[in-house]
Amino acid sequence: MGLPYSKKVIEHFVNPRNVGKIEDADAKATEGSPACGDMVKVYLKVDKKTKVIKDIKFESYGCASNIATASVTTEMAKGKTIEKAKKFTWKDAADALDGLPPVKVHCAVLAVDALKTAIENYENKFGLVVNKKPTDVEKVRGRLEHVIDPRTGLDVVRTKLVKKIEVKKGVVIMYVDMAKDEQFSGNVENELKERIEPLWDVKEVKVVFDKS
Amino acid sequence: MDYIYLDNGASTKIDPEVLNAMIPYFERIYSVASSQFSHRPGIEARDALEGARKIIAEGIGAKPEELVFTSGGTESNNFALKGMASTTNRGHLIVSKVEHYSVLYSARTLESMGFKVDYLDVDRYGQVDLDKLKDLVTDNTLLVSIQHSNHEIGTIQPIGEVVKIAKERGAFVHTDAAYSFGWLPVDVERLGVDLLTITGHKIHGPKGIGGLYVRKGTPIKKWMDGGFNEFDKRGGTENIPAAVGMAKAFELMTDVEIEQVRALRDYLKKKVLSIPDSHLNGHPEERHPANLNVTFDYIEGESVVLHLDMRKIGVITGSACFSRSLEPSHILMATGVSHEHAHGSVRFSLGRFNKKEELDYVYEELKKVVENLRRLSPMKKED
């Protein structure tokens, strides 16, 4: 028994494809957070007519599996339509790598989620959302379940870091149970905004720091 | 170049001299250590065991009958905590938050049995908070267990002060000196501790042997039932070849050699900390001579470890991705750093066989690996 990783995982880890950022990306998304030890950022360039992913790049702060799954996911997505890429599962990514150790499966989930969220952000931005349900508190809360509370490594809904959400005429206000001058307040504000701003009918996002 | 092993804090290569000293106790003298009224092989075996005990006991300022051989540091720590439980009517225990798992989980076991346990805070360098300790020790405190030096970040604890505070309220003191033994002066009289853990395999000795110093009069209970071995404190056939090896390894740890390793560690430290956005973990001065622990910002440790392994360099990290529990190092977290800081930590632990040329190579490769991973990272500073 050697390393717990397949040859393909090691190969992608050593020579990751599609690394970097796209400055004029059509959409991007971040999943995970440094607090939980894994973070992936995905950038997309999509052909307006054909909806084919023309270019995709990623950045990763994470372990070997994180880098390898992000790399293979971008490789799978490049040249596919967003419709097709949306349907990728973590299993597809893991299979493409000839498997992952069970404790590392969450890395594949993260990479594929980042791709899906980036596509969703693209659809919101370019008016491609099919069931144009107006954004409500439920929708916001669902999205926030992907934002990690940097102090605990759990999501901000579960830890009640975001204690109240208001949605009114395209304006989303989130009340955060944290003082403005706390260590992570800047990160939290950016992440919350990044999560909610892409929604198709959201015009403004406000983050209010209000420590109980 | 051969593989460069910088995980000596976990375990070390046995010294050939140590191995040679052990061989006769497999081939020629293999009896159990028995009484003076026994057959000659048994007496020979006993002499070997007692010879080893004398060397080690004297080296730590103890009497031979105060040193109980065990299977290693983990057993010694279990013995110290569980063996002391229920020996008096006191029901309170204090351990630090940066202890080895064998102390932490023994404490947790005692907690589940009804003991009250306090986990003492440490400062940013990993040293225990003595003021807090003063507040925690009461007339109900049975035992205070604080390690001598930390196996991960190398920080040395002010054990003398801990003993003073504990003794004012009549509590016993245990220190886990598994990582210090042989490397740092460990004198039970000067420290004033009642119990002290040592181990053989972090000083180029064999695995499977360790010891617990038990100050005369300490009411510890027999930990492992069996025969009357080890002054009736630990049943089981003594591991004589390993005891002989441990004593030999201890003798080989000379001051000159320790200073050589310290100089090499300082050499590596200077080079590694010249990498931008790197930070030393642990205490800058009060530190184990063979230990270096550094965090590299914006990257994660498992990736560093794997890349270095491919370049034939063996180190470890406190990252969650490296651990079986998917939790970052409890030691680094106790020093108050962020998850990210713990994830980006790398431990380099040196030993007798490391060479300066190796460290030059390690630095060059490490620099490349850190640069490459930072290029991938979404957290890198914008240039």
Cβ-defined contact of A39 to B378 (cutoff 8 Å): yes
Instruction: Compute the distance between CA of residue A202 and CA of residue A121 in angstroms, rounded to an integer.
Output: 12
Q: What is the pTM of this model?
A: 0.89
Q: Are residues B108 and B206 in the same domain?
A: yes
Which residues of chain A does B307 touch, with a Cβ-Cβ cutoff of 8 Å? 14
Q: Are residues B268 and B243 in the same domain?
A: no
CA of B286, closest CA in chain A: separation in Å? Answer: 29
Rg (CA), chain A: 18
Does B100 map to a domain? yes
C-alpha angle B1/B3/B9, rounded to 5°? 140
Summarize pLDDT for B11-56 with one digit per residue, the tens. Answer: 999 999 999 999 999 999 999 987 777 889 999 999 999 999 999 9
- Residues B96/B128, Cβ–Cβ less than 8 Å: yes
Which residues of chain B does A30 touch, with a Cβ-Cβ cutoff of 8 Å? 378
Query: How high is the pLDDT of residue A187?
Result: 79
- Of B210, B228, B252, the residue at which a domain comes to its end is B252
Query: What's B219's domain CATH number?
Result: 3.40.640.10
Query: What's B303's domain CATH number?
Result: 3.90.1150.10
Nearest residue on chain A to B372, alpha-carbon basis: A14
Q: Is the pLDDT of residue A126 over 90?
A: no
CA distances from B88 to B162, B232, B367 (A): 21, 20, 55
Residues across chain B: 383
Q: Does A105 touch chain B (CB under 8 A)?
A: no
- Of B252, B276, B297, the residue at which a domain comes to its end is B252
Q: Are residues B68 and B113 in the same domain?
A: yes
Instruction: Compute the distance between CA of residue B210 and CA of residue B32 in angstroms, rounded to an integer.
Output: 18
Smallest CA-to-CA distance from B373 within B275, B293, B273 is with: B275
Does B36 map to a domain? yes
Q: Does B375 touch chain A (CB under 8 A)?
A: yes
The residue-averaged pLDDT of A102-110 equals 84
Instruction: Compute the distance between CA of residue B77 and CA of residue B106 in angstroms, rounded to an integer.
Output: 8
Q: Are residues B309 and B357 in the same domain?
A: yes
Query: How high is the pLDDT of residue B383?
Result: 47
Instruction: Estimate the crossing angle of helix B240-252 against helix B40-59, to 10 degrees.
Output: 30
Q: Are residues B225 and B317 in the same domain?
A: no
Does B357 map to a domain? yes
C-alpha angle B239/B22/B31, rounded to 5°? 50
The residue-averaged pLDDT of B301-323 equals 92
The order of strands in the sheet holding B141-145 is B67-70, B210-214, B195-199, B172-176, B141-145, B92-96, B116-120
Cβ-defined contact of B300 to A62 (cutoff 8 Å): yes
Parallel/antiparallel/unpaired status of strands B4-5 and B313-314: parallel
Does B383 map to a domain? no
Q: Are residues B231 and B282 in the same domain?
A: no
Q: Are residues B212 and B272 in the same domain?
A: no
Which residues of chain A does B382 touch, with a Cβ-Cβ cutoff of 8 Å? none
Which residues of chain B does A103 touch, with a Cβ-Cβ cutoff of 8 Å? 324, 326
Does B84 map to a domain? yes
Residues of B designated as active site: 321
CA of B318, closest CA in chain A: separation in Å? Answer: 11
Q: In terms of pLDDT, which residue wins out, A110 or B63? A: B63
Q: Does B1 touch chain A (CB under 8 A)?
A: no
Q: Are residues B223 and B278 in the same domain?
A: no
Summarize pLDDT for B105-119 with one digit per residue, the tens. Answer: 999 999 999 999 999
Neighbouring C-beta atoms of residue B321, cutoff 10 Å: 25
Q: Are residues B161 and B272 in the same domain?
A: no
Helix (H, G, I), strand (E, B) or coil at B95: strand
Parallel/antiparallel/unpaired status of strands A204-209 and B116-120: unpaired
Annotated catalytic residue within A19, A35, A36, A64: A36
Which residues of chain A does B324 touch, with a Cβ-Cβ cutoff of 8 Å? 103
- Of B252, B286, B320, the residue at which a domain comes to its end is B252
Q: Are residues B185 and B265 in the same domain?
A: no
Q: Is the pLDDT of residue B377 over 60?
A: yes
Instruction: Classify residue B335 by its DSSP letter.
Output: T
Q: Are residues B245 and B260 in the same domain?
A: no
- Residues B340/A34, Cβ–Cβ less than 8 Å: yes
Best of A3, A15, A61, A154 to substitute, by most chain B Cβ atoms within 10 angstroms, is A61
CA atoms within 13 A on the CB side of B151: 27
Q: Is the pLDDT of residue A82 over 50?
A: yes
Does B332 map to a domain? yes
What is the rounded average pLDDT for all residues in chain B?
95
CA of B322, closest CA in chain A: separation in Å? Answer: 8
Does B30 map to a domain? yes
What percentage of chain B exceeds 70 in pLDDT? 98
What is the rounded average pLDDT for all residues in chain A?
89
The order of strands in the sheet holding A27-33 is A27-33, A38-46, A53-61
Q: Are residues B259 and B183 in the same domain?
A: no
Summarize pLDDT for B74-100 with one digit per residue, the tens. Answer: 999 999 999 999 899 999 999 999 999
Query: How high is the pLDDT of residue B171?
Result: 98
Partner A, chain B 269-308, Cβ-Cβ below 8 Å = 298-300, 302-303, 306-307
The residue-averaged pLDDT of B328-333 equals 93
Does B116 map to a domain? yes
CA distances from B378 to A58, B41, B135, B372, B381 (A): 9, 67, 44, 13, 9
Cβ-defined contact of A13 to B378 (cutoff 8 Å): no
Label residue B265 by pLDDT band (50, 70, 90): very high
Smallest CA-to-CA distance from B254 within B223, B287, B228, B289 is with: B289
The residue-averaged pLDDT of B353-380 equals 95
Cβ-defined contact of B343 to A37 (cutoff 8 Å): yes
Instruction: Compute the distance between CA of residue B148 and CA of residue A135 in angstroms, rounded to an integer.
Output: 58
Instruction: Compute the distance between CA of residue B299 and CA of residue B322 in angstroms, rounded to an integer.
Output: 13
Query: How high is the pLDDT of residue A175?
Result: 93
The residue-averaged pLDDT of A42-63 equals 95
User: Which member of B326, B338, B379 has the closest CB to residue A61?
Assistant: B379
The parent domain of residue B261 ranges over 254-376
Which residues of chain A does B312 touch, with a Cβ-Cβ cutoff of 8 Å? none
> Looking at this protein, which amino acid is placed at residue B308?
L
Summarize pLDDT for A169-197 with one digit per residue, the tens. Answer: 889 999 999 988 887 788 788 888 888 98
Q: Does B256 touch chain A (CB under 8 A)?
A: no
Summarize pLDDT for A83-98 with one digit per residue, the tens. Answer: 999 999 999 999 999 9
> Looking at this protein, which amino acid is placed at residue B329?
S
Q: Which residue has the tokens 């006769």?
A: B24
User: Tokens standing for B328?
Assistant: 């970052």
User: Tokens standing for A6?
Assistant: 């397949």
Q: ipTM higher than 0.85? A: no
Count interface pairs A-B at CB distance under 8 A: 71
Instruction: Compute the distance between CA of residue B95 and CA of residue B116 in angstroms, rounded to an integer.
Output: 11
Helix (H, G, I), strand (E, B) or coil at A108: helix
- In sequence order, which residues have a C-beta less than 8 Å from that of residue B21 and are 6 or more positions away? B244, B245, B248
Instruction: Compute the distance between CA of residue B321 and CA of residue B331 in angstroms, rounded to an integer.
Output: 16
Domain count, chain B: 2
Q: Which domains, ranges and CATH numbers included, belong to chain A?
A: 7-125 (3.90.1010.10), 137-209 (3.30.300.130)
Helix (H, G, I), strand (E, B) or coil at B299: coil
